[in-house]
Every structure is written in structure tokens, then in C-alpha cells.
Amino acid sequence: MLPSATSSPLDAAIKVGEDLALKVLEYRLGAIKTRAVALEEFEKDLPIDSLTEMKAMPESDFIRNFRDARSRGTLMAEGDSWFDYPWKDVLSCLEDEHGYDVESVAHKGDHVEHMAYDGGQLVQFLRRLERLLLRQNKIPKAVLLSGGGNDFAGREFGMILNHKLSPLSGLNSQVVDGVIERIFTAFGTILSEVTTLCNRTIGRNVPILIHGYDYPVPDGRGFLGGWGPFPGPWLEPGFREKGFDDLSERMSLARVLVDEINDMLQSIVGHPEFSHVIYINLRGTLRDDLSVYQEDWANELHPSSAGFTLVSNRFAEEINLLP
């Protein structure tokens, strides 16, 4: 059952997010003052000529030949591997193929609960925001948020499945509902954190874009054959453990799960506190037709290079509509 966007758990998550954001802000205000003192100490004994020389560094051939200060705007991002993938991901496509600048604190493999409560990405997010506002005089056009896939996929994936031979065969609705509720609450907290920090530093809301995932093909393919920073596979072992050997049956169950995650995310934007949050529906962006799906999917969870271009195009469509 889907959590209610106006329910008390989400209101409680919003309050937790506000409190965590204010703690991070207080910590960073102290750090900003410490930095100012350090710079004053550094500069006070330097001759004026030295400061001028520091600001007028000679240009390299690379800078001269490729300088291009044009930009469609600056985006900030927090998330997981769809925003932090080797060679090409959603964010690099938005920079290279659409002309945006992106300040990202995304980290592959992060669970949405870690992003909400552990503080690592949030502290780094505020540091990047400080740099934009205080040293570059830029205001982000939007904040992009990605997460939730790691909370289902991986070694624990089999726990959400009842065995194929069970009279309750398929997704275990109670377990799925529990994980959905956990992600729902964590997303509410993150959205509240980012909203609070933007309001306190910029003085207004900044649009936040969130997305669900597309329909995967649980075929047992991992990153580079199961090697490297995202080894995988993430879905096939759980299906195999519970007796689901037929790929079409796995795909059908995965579609139901993806739909539930997307429905949950879409419901969050209905809360009055999140009127500035935009949900992007990516379902159907990447093909799951077995004759062509490998052109869009690099493995069970991540798009191919061409697939990331397709996903980034959907983001760009929404971002381009913003003022």
C-alpha cells in the first residue's frame, strides 16, 4: 500500500530534514568564518604585487584554445550511480550534450537512507552551494536527486520475493511495502534538507527534480561482467534463489516493483511543502524488448552510453521548461 503524501510520517520526515539541515548549516557557518580568518592571515603580510601576480597566471594553450564560458545554467545533484557512473552518466550528458554546468556530490552505491541521515552528501552539497553563491556568484537553476535503487537491488533482493513454488509466489507485498515506506520517508527527509538549505542560503525554493527508474531486464549481466566498482548482477541471483528461471517472468515482477517505486515518488510531490519538486517519469525511455534492449541497457541496473543520452534528454526536457 502506498504511503500518503499528506501523512504524518512524511510530515515527521520533513521536520527531521529541517533539523538535520540546520545542524549542517551551523557547522558550515563556523567553517566559513575559519576560512575567512585563514585567508586574512595569509594575505596580510603579502606584498600587493604578489596578490596581483597570483590573479594573473599565464594561460596554457589548452585554456586559450578551448575557453568557453557559455552555459545554460548551473545544476546541483545528489544521488547514486545513475549520477556517478564511469565515463558517462546522466550528469555528464547534461554537461556535454546539453550545455549545463553540474556541481555533484552523488556517489555510486549510496542507499537513500544513507543520503538522508548520514550527513556525508548533505555536508558536501552545502559546500558546493557555498562555492557557487559566495565565490562564483551563481544560483543553481535546479537540484537533481536520484536514489532508491540500491535500497532494493543487490544481495538482499531475494528477501522481497516469495519462492516460485509458494502459494504466495511473487513479490512479498509486506516486505515491499516496508521498503517502499522506508524510501518514501528518506526521500521526504532529503527533499526537506535540500529545501531548507536553499531557503536559508538563497532566500527561496529552488526546483528539485526527482525520478524513478525504468523497467530493467534481470538477465544476470553485471558491470564489465561482474567486475569493478559495480560488480553485479543485482537482480538475477535473487530471482534464481527463489526459483524464477524464466526471464519474462522476472521482467514482469520487476515491472511491478518499478511501478510501485515510481508511484511512491510521484505521490511525494503532492505534499504542500514540495510544490517546487518535479517528478520525472522515465518508464519507457529505455527499451526492454529482448531483441534490442542491450543497446539501451549496459547491465541489469544501468543504461548504456546511448541509454544515458536518452535519460538525460528527458531531464533536459524538464529543466528547459524552468524559468
Q: Going residue by residue through the chain (323 aa), what tens digit of pLDDT does each one get?
A: 566 555 688 999 999 999 999 999 999 999 999 999 998 888 787 776 665 655 666 778 777 777 777 899 999 999 999 999 999 999 999 999 999 999 999 999 899 999 999 988 899 999 999 999 999 999 999 999 999 988 888 888 999 999 999 999 999 999 999 999 999 999 999 999 999 999 999 999 999 999 999 999 999 998 765 445 557 799 999 999 999 999 999 999 999 999 999 999 999 998 999 999 999 999 999 999 999 999 999 999 999 999 999 999 999 999 999 98
Q: Cell 528518506, residue?
A: 186
Side-chain half-sphere CA neighbours of 268 within 13 A: 32
Grid cell of 111 as nine digits: 542507499
Grid cell of 136 as nine digits: 562564483
d(CA 122, CA 196): 11
Grid cell of 193 as nine digits: 534538507
pLDDT at residue 227, as a whole number = 46
Q: Who contacts 177 (Cβ-Cβ below 8 Å, separation ≥6)?
A: 1
Under CATH, what is the fold of the domain 8-31+71-319? Rossmann fold (3.40.50)
Ranges of H-type helices in the chain: 8-44, 48-55, 61-66, 90-96, 112-117, 120-130, 173-202, 236-241, 247-268, 305-319
pLDDT at residue 194, as a whole number = 97
Residue 87 sits at φ, ψ, to 5 deg, of 70, -50
Number of other CB atoms surrounding residue 36 within 10 Å: 10
Q: Which of 288, 13, 21, 301 is nearest to 148 (CA)?
A: 301
| Helix or strand holding residue 320 (H, E) | none
Contact 84, 111 (CB under 8 A): no
